[in-house]
Chain A
Amino acid sequence: MDVLLLSRLQFALTIMFHYLFPPLTIGLGAVLVGCMSLWWATDEARYEAMARFWTRIFAVNFAMGVATGIVMEFEFGTNWAAYSRYVGDVFGSALAAEGIFAFFLESGFLGILVFGWDRVSRPVHWFASLMVFLGSVFSSVWIVIANSWMHTPAGYHIVEGPSGPRAEITDFWAMVFNPSSMERLWHVWSGSFILGGAFVCSIAAWYVLRDRHQWFAERSFKAGLVVLTLGSWSALLSGHQAGETVAEYQPAKLAAFEGHFHTEAAPLWLFGVPDTEAQEVRYGIAVPGGLSLLVHMDPNHPMEGLAETPKEDWPNVDLVFQTYHGMLTIGMFFLAITTLALGLWATGRLFRYRLVLWTFVGAVLPAYAGNQLGWISVEVGRQPWIVHGMLRTDEALSEMVTAEMVAGSILMFGTVYSLLFVVWWWVLNGKIQHGPDEPVERLPSEAREGLLTVAARGRMADGEG
């Protein structure tokens, strides 16, 4: 295999594994701030137990996000040196801003959130949870800005740099608010809320089914359901917005998403198999004029087909089409099950049907898959460009890095990540099986007497983390 394909595989492996964690911690962070607020407002020990449980779950996932995130920051330089030289002025700035504004905030206050129970007052602790959540949100802001710039570059010019042409910032705010950044950010947050909500619902529904931690499980399920519902509708709206921008700025990508080969009124394929030779979609069902209607409010409006783009500038249509449709299907699935659950809730039957609860237990998997599939379709859809219309992916590699070196690194990451995945799964499962602690009512004066509380629970030298 050539170094280009290997480097892309390496990036795909490391970013996909990394992206199991950040959207979860953003979504879960929102739930956590909610728990901390309720605890502070009501002073109920049951809410404290709830906040503590979700903090423990959060911490495990956060640590995984940190451990796998450093790789991403280094990988641009190790594997994509030519890209780094070309865009460092623009892209590097967004990354540095992420470090300064986001990472310090979240990692600093994470220490207080996780270890501060007996050391800081409740308002400070609440503040720490808010800062950790905000830090993860800021992080998503900067990284999505940097990534969106690769899709719809703006606020730059190309000049002769020390080692050839390169992009330099001319207008910082135009770079930040490039045409796709805000709606893609909105869409990323939607995906994070779907994952965070589905994750909480999954665990809570399982406790309900097992008759465990009744009060905790029902509250958590409802909180998760609210976040999941918001995320699902928001994903629909933001996805629609993002689609319109793609239609305007990256028509070839939209055409690949939708399997639209010829410039004419575009149908909306529900599913199918694109045939790039015959330039048509086979074995599918489509809403005639559906895509034209969505983008232009007119079912007969012609839309640019993939045939307008030279074939060497096509992305991998099969992969982009299928991953995109997979994401859409998952989005529809979440709209359906949240609507159903809200209906049951309104009529007081939320926890009555085991089948519904089991569906929610399993729904965390499509939530992970939806986030991953969306990213695959959008990033593979950008190909063969690394920066749309500016720099091709095959021109972006490191000059001196060979296929053997990249293959070696894939082997190393593959091994380490597999191991890490198993460990993460095992530890997380242990925490879920253990469940939240029984709430301990304590006197107001005790609230800050950390050691007393710990001693009272008799868990001082216990191994439980």
Chain B
Amino acid sequence: MDWATLWFVLLGVLLAGYAILDGFDLGVGMLHLLVAKTDHERRLVLNSIGPLWDGNEVWLVTFGGALFAAFPEAYATTFSGFYLPFMLLLNMLIFRAAAIEFRSKVQSDTWRWLWDIAFSVASGGTTLLMGVAVGNLVWGVELEDGIMVGSTLDLLHPYALAVGTLAVSLFAMHGSIYLYLKTEGELQERLVPWMWRTFGVFNGLYVLVTMATLVLRPDVTRHLQTYPAAWLLVAANIGAVMNIPRSIFKGNAGQAFASSTFVVACLVFLLGAALYPNLVPALGDGESLTIFLAASSESTLKLMALIAGLGMPMVVSYTAIVYWTFRGKVKLGENAY
């Protein structure tokens, strides 16, 4: 494997880490107003992700930094090409962080209600925008000399919006299962119908988007033709999707969460398989921006691989420590949000 491909895979790992971890806390944010009725319940929902969300978001920041270092051309092209959506995304992320931090710090119903809305809207909006960006990458964008030339409105086509909605339903489902695991009693019971609803919507959209992709962008399966073993991943993914309702039905939410985690990871890797070796596919006759065109020098890719090799085991170990420390049902401690 060449170094550019290695970094393509490593970026996939960072993106999968982000989607799995921030995926559930974005989902929790979307469900916040829908499942938690009292102030006490809303604080429980917030604190179920309280000590974790910040670390989860670092996966996105590191993904951005790694993209900048490994594929500066792609970083520059996509970030400037998706200018307005990214500005909106950044502001939503700011609002979300502020909502989590400030909501419970003041004793006022209006104050808390406003931050609750900000938290939910920003969680859903962040997910939708990221999903639309992914949809555009699969669909292809207007590229000239490696620069995105289309207008912002061109990015809002039905396929991209469908992928965006799929992302929203996926994270909402992932979050509802997570929240079920972290809560007790009445609040937990209220989550059961939400697990079913979000699964239903996700499942429907998943079938729809898969069919649309296969019909409109048949090219995405080209690597699966070359490596038939990769179909096992597709099959495993479908199995994991089917296992979610089975586990919920059997009352085994832990297994349902493991399955939704697997589904999120699988979808990221299938996205990678659909794109490779492109990072930004061009529409029509345009020349796509491939990892080879976009990459930094080989020596830098090697150096970065060394940095990742040193750093990632540490990252995994403290992520594990933090998750272990805050295992079990959520309780409101003195310093809770």
Mark A residues whose CB is within 8 Å of B. Answer: 52, 55-56, 59-60, 63-64, 66-71, 73-74, 76-79, 81-82, 84-85, 87-93, 95-101, 103-105, 107-112, 114-120, 131, 159, 161-163, 166, 168-170, 172, 398-401, 405, 408-409, 412-413, 416, 420, 423, 426-427, 430-431, 450-451, 453-454, 457, 459-461, 463, 465
Closest 7 CB pairs of A and B: A88-B72, A77-B79, A111-B51, A99-B62, A92-B68, A92-B69, A100-B311
Set of chain B residues within 8 Å of A93, measured between Cβ atoms: 69, 296, 300, 303-304, 307
CB distance from B47 to the nearest CB of A (A): 8
The answer to whether A96 touches B146, judged by C-beta atoms less than 8 angstroms apart, is no
**Is the C-beta of B226 less than 8 angstroms from some C-beta in chain A?**
no
Closest to B92 in A: A416
Choose one: B69, B76, B91, B325; the contact of A119 (CB below 8 Å).
B325
* CB-based contact B62/A63 at 8 Å: no
Give the complex CA separation of A168 and B297 in angstroms. Answer: 7
Residues of B within 8 A of A399 (CB): 80, 147
Chain B contacts with A in 297-316, Cβ cutoff 8 A: 297, 299-300, 303-304, 307-308, 311-312, 314-315
Which of A66, A95, A112 contacts B51 (CB under 8 A)? A112
Say yes or no: B62 contacts A96, CB within 8 Å. Answer: yes
Chain A neighbourhood of B64, CB < 8 A: 73-74, 77, 99
Q: Is B293 located at the chain interface by the 8 A CB criterion?
A: yes
> In the bound complex, do residue A98 and residue B65 qualify as a contact, i.e. CB atoms below 8 Å apart?
yes
Please indicate the chain B residues that have their CB under 8 angstroms from the CB of A430 in the complex: 105-106
Closest-by-CB residue of A relative to B60 is A70
B76 touches A85 (CB 8 A): yes
Closest to B306 in A: A172
Cβ–Cβ contact A112 & B147, under 8 A:
no
Alpha-carbon separation in the docked complex, A99 to B123 (Å): 22
Whether A66 pairs with B62 at a CB distance below 8 angstroms is no
A162 to B71, CA, bound (A): 11
B58 contacts A78, C-beta separation under 8 Å:
no
B86 is an interface residue with CB less than 8 A from chain A: yes
B335 adjacent to chain A (CB < 8 Å): yes
Nearest opposing residue in chain A for B303, CB measure: A172
Chain A contact surface mostly: helix
Instruction: Specify which of A64, A68, A409 is in contact with B87 (CB 8 Å cutoff).
Output: A409
Contact at B299–A169, with CB atoms within 8 Å? yes
Q: Is B25's beta carbon under 8 Å from chain A?
A: no
Contacts of A110 in B (CB 8 A): 51, 54-55
Q: Is the CB of B58 within 8 A of A107?
A: yes
Contact call A451/B331, Cβ cutoff below 8 A: yes
Q: Which residue of A lies closest to B88 (CB)?
A: A412
Q: Which B residues lie within 8 Å of A451 (CB)? A: 331
A235 to B86, CA, bound (A): 38
User: In the assembled complex, which residues on chain A have CB atoms less than 8 Å from the CB atom of B294?
Assistant: 162
Give 19 A-B contacts (CB < 8 Å), ordered by A residue. A60-B105, A63-B54, A63-B101, A73-B64, A84-B79, A88-B73, A88-B296, A92-B70, A92-B296, A96-B69, A97-B307, A99-B64, A100-B65, A105-B314, A109-B322, A115-B333, A401-B80, A405-B83, A412-B91
Looking across the interface, which residue of chain B has its beta carbon closest to that of A399?
B147
B335 near A95: Cβ-Cβ < 8 Å: no
Known: A400-B80, A427-B105. A74 touches B90 (CB 8 A): yes
Once the chains bind, are A71 and B296 in contact (CB under 8 Å)? no
B73 touches A163 (CB 8 A): yes
Chain A residues contacting B104 (CB-CB under 8 Å) are: 463, 465
Least Cβ distance of B303 to chain A in Å?
6
B68 touches A84 (CB 8 A): yes
Distance to closest chain B CB from A361 (angstroms): 23
Residues of chain B within 8 A (CB-CB) of A105 are 314, 318
Q: Which of B296, B308, B322 contacts A112 (CB 8 A)?
A: B322
A430 to B102, CA, bound (A): 12
